[in-house]
A and B are shown apart, each in its own frame.
Chain A
Amino acid sequence: MSRLLLTRLLEAVPVLLISAAAAFALGQVAGDPLAALGLDASAAQRAAAAARLGLDAPLPEQYLRFLWAALHGDFGFSIRLARPVGALLLERLPATVELAGAAFLVALAAGIPAGMLAALHPRGLAARAVMAVSLLGVSLPTFLTGTLLILLFAATLRWLPSFGRGEVVALGGWSTGLLTGSGRLALILPALTLGAFQAALLLRLVADGMRGALASGHVRFARARGLPPRLIRRHALRHALVPVLAAFGMQLGLLVAFSIVTEQVFQWPGIGLLLVQSIAAADVPVMTAYLVLTSVLFVALSLLADLLALAVDPRLRQGRGG
């Protein structure tokens, strides 16, 4: 068990180093670390600042220094907002985490039962409808789903707010919208928007997995032993979840990527909206920090997915197939 985990950890290192190098290169090529000084800074002022920041050092040394600073959450100052980037991201993170978490719950609650339905009664009307909706779901881009939901629920029916996070409450360093009525109402449409695409993907994975499991030898043997359909469904679902868990890390990665779009649609004040605003303003330090933060996040999530897969499938623990 620990050997597989160790392998995965070791595999994560190059991914992290490559993305950190990409982030560093982004700063080198596109960024001007002295932009914060303003356009009217004299050449002497610029040279002094460059020496103070170590910009005259050789590149490898600068890369190491960049890594060291990144490990401490230090990514310099935002050009647009003139504030430390680390603090800026930290302040926006809770909004994104709550949105992604709620969307993930939406995806699980809709995708797993619908996928089971599609696999158990593949010729039924409900299953066909579910598969058609899922095809629509993977074909509709997130921003369109969001816009159409706004058109229906905010513009026409006027049931739900179309933008923002509602009232938030500070809990220590964490700002949450879950504790206020307006905060919860504001979360509904963004979570549905972000969750819809995921639900469609999850549904297809679960349906494929269940179909495979239901056709397998051990389900046939379980039926021959007279196990009731309820137990057989549970067996099959467990098998269907193994590939789902394997794809789980990537799924959450997509959730983070598309939260950028959802945040833009609903003007949701998370790190995605911050990134889009920063790109439009060529605010390179924020882009650099976002790249590093998300790569750490993706690596952590795929490790989590590996751990979950290990917990479900004993064959993986031995490190050999069966």
Chain B
Amino acid sequence: MLLSVTGLSIAVAAGRAVDQVSFTLDRGEVLALVGESGAGKSLTGAALIGLLPEGARLAGGRLEFAGVALERLAEPGWRRLRGRRIGAVFQDPLAALDPLARIGDQLVETLRVHHAASRPRARRQAAEWLAQVGIPAARARAWPHELSGGMRQRVAIALALAPRPALLIADEPTTALDVSLRGQVAALLRRLATGQGTAVLLISHDIASVAAAADRVAVMYAGRIVETGATAALLRAPAHPYTAALLAARPGILHRPDRLPAIEGTMPPPGATVTGCAFAPRCGRADARCAAEAPDLPPHGAACWHHD
């Protein structure tokens, strides 16, 4: 077991944004964390690389990564892990690369920081990495603004994977891209990561990317995981009504990529007092029990009273 998260809770000013989340991740495995914006996916990812935004803090839980208790790490300890052992790719490829440095130089810098390699060797490795993500070596001297969004995100993937981390947090790595590119970039991410034994926590609300890259899926709603399962099985036969609604409302080719699945009603925000199942007000199958009592998440399956 590479990563074991038990009872992770994260508090923001309004209240709990992530509540008692637990999951595990094996070496070389890809776990997708899906759900609407605001469900707590990104905060979970940020906690795993020690970069929680200002105003958010860990409120409990154990994060065990390769024998290290991440929840107890202070900044110097995080610095030894970041990049080398745990990497990250973020949503916005436009903002991720330093606009004032050539992409090759950014790769060389990262490689040299982690492997203390000689400059010529780092340069060779940088060219190899660019080739791996499908960018001709000649473009190493390009500036970030000269590349397309897809190319930039592939450079960011190379930057994150180049130090060969054991775990990669990929936070919406395909959301900013054109719909037609998403599955392709997600599949590339999976191929390169699993090829070198890197486990990936893929945070996404894009079902196509999840289908292309993930071994297992965990569905989050209002700060909790409501269903887990193997990707193919979960996508084919969702057990939780929320998962089913999410899949049904999945945007087609003609939908604007920034519009999210239209499920009626809204998710309760962090800090809202919820009795019973948080999804009950929006659920077609909800009854008196759903409104009164919150269902637990079984080891395999869905947190739903109507699931058998």
Contact = CB atoms under 8 A, between A and B. Distances in A.
Residue of A238, A239, A242, A315 with most chain B CB atoms under a 10 A cut-off = A315
A235 B113 CA distance: 14
A172 interface: no
A221 B88 contact: yes
Nearest to B82: A226
Contacts of A315: 99, 143, 145
Residue of A225, A238, A320 with most chain B CB atoms under a 10 A cut-off = A225
B238 interface: no
Interface residues on B, range: 20 to 34
A224 B113 contact: no
Given A220-B90, A221-B90, A318-B145, A226 B163 contact: yes
B88 A314 contact: no
A224 B51 contact: yes
B163 A222 contact: no
A221 B83 CA distance: 10
Interface residues on A, range: 20 to 34
A322 interface: yes
Interface string B130-151: 0000000000000111100000
Nearest to A224: B88
B87 A239 contact: no
Contact of A227 (B51, B110, B144, B145): B110
A226 B114 contact: yes
Contacts of B145: 314-315, 318, 320-322
Nearest to A225: B83
A313 interface: yes
Contacts of A220: 51, 90
B288 to A, nearest CB: 46
B198 to A, nearest CB: 14
Contacts of A242: 100
Residue of A221, A229, A238, A322 with most chain B CB atoms under a 10 A cut-off = A221
Chain A binding surface, main DSSP class? helix
A217 interface: yes
B84 A218 contact: no
A312 B82 CA distance: 29
A312 B98 CA distance: 12
A231 interface: yes
A58 interface: no
A224 to B, nearest CB: 4
Given A315-B145, A322-B145, A225 B99 contact: no
Nearest to A312: B100
Interface string B145-161: 11000000000100110
A222 B82 CA distance: 10
A226 B83 contact: yes
Given A217-B90, A315-B145, A228 B98 contact: no
B255 interface: no
A312 to B, nearest CB: 7
Contacts of B95: 216-218, 221
B100 A221 contact: no
Contacts of A228: 79, 113
A289 B109 CA distance: 52
B215 interface: no
B113 A226 contact: yes
Contacts of B83: 224-227
Interface string B73-98: 00000010111100111101011111
13 contacts: A217-B92, A217-B94, A221-B159, A223-B82, A224-B51, A225-B87, A228-B79, A231-B109, A231-B113, A235-B100, A315-B143, A321-B145, A322-B143
Q: Which 9 pairs show the lowest CB-CB distances between chains A and B?
A: A226-B83, A322-B145, A217-B95, A224-B88, A226-B82, A225-B83, A314-B143, A221-B96, A218-B98
